[in-house]
């Protein structure tokens, strides 16, 4: 089954064709970074306009690179949740229209299930495992029982980890997207130059695996000098190294607790922050675990992860109705509710 997957939830206009949930035949990602860079963050209005401009050429390019015609595509999938509303609507509406016009099955996909599936494109991974979903919008630790079955164990109670990287980079004028720049600068800095705080909310009842990044972000932005260790220089490299170390420690401290409590030994990461070199290094040190990361090119937003996970819904006979709409937020991902209902699914 050849599935054409469309992704437009944030600032990448992307389309890929994937066969049987595994074989990437083509994968086109048109990044809007140069248009948002000057504003040091994603401007939703610009993002949706660029998606509207680029969606047709990107889909055409994916077909061309796959050397396939639309007739040879078996089904169409598009991200419909969560993300920027105006951006989601472009890819979703385009995908639905294409499927309707060509009389193909259509399925709307949850972006975070796509991120989790990225690692499955190149690996055969058995369920259950612990999923670590870390992106610009979310930070989630889940027990993953199947491609669409996540028991959310912990989430951030405020900013996502990617957001913290982006805001710190913005404040220090380091560039956009922040994660990539900070990761690079941190490699030249000393992580012991500052000792930023890891928020202790995991001690509260019902928050064992939850995380907080807003306090860390504020400490790094406004109070860096208070946390300066003696004898160190306050350089961007040192600030980045210490911030990154604390952000990664916040994630791994909760992740390791989830691993201990569940007894699961496999960890699968996904999302833009899964590209982080320090996170990868710390998990690589845990020789007792099987830590699986997607290749760097599949950590960020792409259509292959959407087409890949869509295959499994379609194989099960699921279809989305034409009135399926976009959904900017999935409340339980944000607020740490343990309700598994997948908001926005139709
Ligand atoms: O998954 P993604 O491309 O889009 C969302 O779904 O949000 O994630 C984007 C996020 C941004 O916050 C970006 O700064 C972060 O991923 N990111 C990184 C790295 N590369 C991208 N964060 C830390 N280290 C990186 N190497
Ligand atoms: Zn994403």
Q: What is the pLDDT along the chain (346 residues), one digit of tens a residue?
A: 999 999 999 999 999 999 999 999 999 999 999 999 998 899 999 999 999 999 999 999 999 999 999 999 999 999 999 999 999 999 999 999 999 999 999 999 999 999 999 999 999 999 999 999 999 999 999 999 999 999 999 999 999 999 999 999 999 999 989 999 999 999 999 999 999 999 988 888 888 999 999 999 999 999 999 999 989 999 999 999 999 999 999 999 999 999 999 999 999 999 999 999 999 999 999 999 999 999 999 999 999 999 999 999 999 999 999 999 999 988 766 544 454 456 566 6
pLDDT of amino acid 337: 46
For 123, other C-beta atoms within 10 Å of its C-beta total 13
Cα end-to-end span (Å), the chain: 22
Q: How far apart are CA 338 and CA 343, in angstroms?
A: 13
pLDDT of amino acid 336: 46
Cβ partners under 8 Å of residue 227, min gap 6: 194, 195, 196, 197, 219, 242
CA 267 to chain centre: 15
> How remote is the CA of residue 101 from the centroid of ligand 1, in Å?
35
Q: Reduced to 3 states, what is the DSSP secondary structure of residue 139?
A: strand
Q: Torsion over CA of 218, 223, 227 and 232, rounded to 10 degrees?
A: 120
Return the residue whose CA atom lies nearest to atom 16 of ligand 1.
272
Of 165, 274, 329, 334, the one to substitute when testing ligand 1's pocket (max ligand atoms within 8 A of C-beta) is 165
> How remote is the CA of residue 330 from the centroid of ligand 2, in Å?
14
Atom of ligand 1 nearest to the CA of 277: 26
Return the residue whose CA atom lies nearest to atom 14 of ligand 1.
179
Of 273, 280, 306, 333, the one to substitute when testing ligand 1's pocket (max ligand atoms within 8 A of C-beta) is 273
Atom of ligand 1 nearest to the CA of 138: 7
Phi/psi of residue 43, nearest 5 degrees: -100, 110
Atom of ligand 1 nearest to the CA of 166: 14
> How remote is the CA of residue 180 from the centroid of ligand 1, in Å?
7
> How remote is the CA of residue 165 from the centroid of ligand 1, in Å?
8
Tokens read off for 239: 């600030």
pLDDT of amino acid 202: 80
Q: What is the pTM (predicted TM-score) of this model?
A: 0.96
Phi/psi of residue 125, nearest 5 degrees: -115, 130
CB-CB contact of 172 with 184 (8 Å): no
Q: Reduced to 3 states, what is the DSSP secondary structure of residue 78?
A: strand
Q: Which ligand is nearest to the CA of 33?
A: 1
pLDDT of amino acid 344: 60
> How remote is the CA of residue 192 from the centroid of ligand 2, in Å?
31
Tokens read off for 214: 């807003």
Which H/E stretch holds residue 179?
helix 178-186
What residues are in contact with ligand 1 under a 6 Å CB criterion? 10, 135-137, 162, 165-166, 177-180, 183, 271-273, 275-276, 300-301
> How remote is the CA of residue 135 from the centroid of ligand 1, in Å?
5
CB-CB contact of 121 with 294 (8 Å): yes
């Amino acid at each position: 089954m050849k599935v054409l997957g469309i992704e437009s939830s944030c600032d990448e206009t992307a389309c890929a064709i994937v066969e049987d949930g595994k074989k990437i035949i083509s994968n086109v990602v048109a990044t809007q970074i140069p248009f948002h860079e000057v504003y040091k963050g994603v401007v939703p209005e610009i993002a949706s306009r660029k998606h509207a401009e680029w969606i047709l050429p990107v889909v055409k390019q994916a077909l061309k690179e796959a050397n396939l015609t639309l007739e040879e595509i078996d089904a169409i999938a598009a991200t419909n949740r969560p993300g920027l509303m105006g951006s989601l609507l472009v890819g979703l509406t385009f995908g639905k229209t294409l499927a309707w016009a060509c009389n193909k099955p259509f399925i709307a996909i949850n972006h975070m299930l796509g991120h989790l599936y990225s690692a499955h494109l190149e690996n055969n991974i058995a369920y259950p495992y612990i999923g670590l979903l870390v992106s610009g919008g979310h930070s989630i630790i889940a027990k993953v029982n199947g491609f669409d079955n996540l028991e959310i164990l912990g989430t951030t109670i405020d900013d996502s980890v990617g957001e913290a990287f982006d805001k710190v980079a913005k404040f220090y004028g380091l560039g956009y997207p922040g994660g990539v720049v900070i990761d690079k600068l941190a490699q030249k800095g000393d992580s012991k130059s500052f000792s930023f705080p890891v928020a202790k909310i995991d001690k509260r009842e019902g928050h064992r695996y939850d995380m907080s990044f807003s306090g860390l972000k504020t400490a790094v932005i406004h109070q860096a000098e208070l946390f300066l260790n003696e004898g160190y220089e306050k350089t961007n490299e040192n600030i980045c190294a210490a911030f990154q170390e604390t952000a990664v420690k916040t994630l791994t401290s909760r992740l390791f607790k989830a691993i201990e409590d569940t007894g699961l030994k496999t960890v699968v990461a996904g999302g833009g922050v899964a590209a982080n070199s320090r996170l990868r290094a710390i998990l690589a040190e845990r020789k007792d675990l099987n830590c699986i990361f997607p290749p760097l090119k599949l950590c960020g937003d792409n259509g292959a992860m959407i087409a890949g996970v869509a295959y499994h819904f379609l194989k099960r006979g699921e279809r989305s109705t034409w009135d399926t709409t976009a959904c900017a937020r999935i409340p339980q991902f944000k607020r740490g509710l343990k309700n598994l209902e997948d908001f926005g699914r139709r």
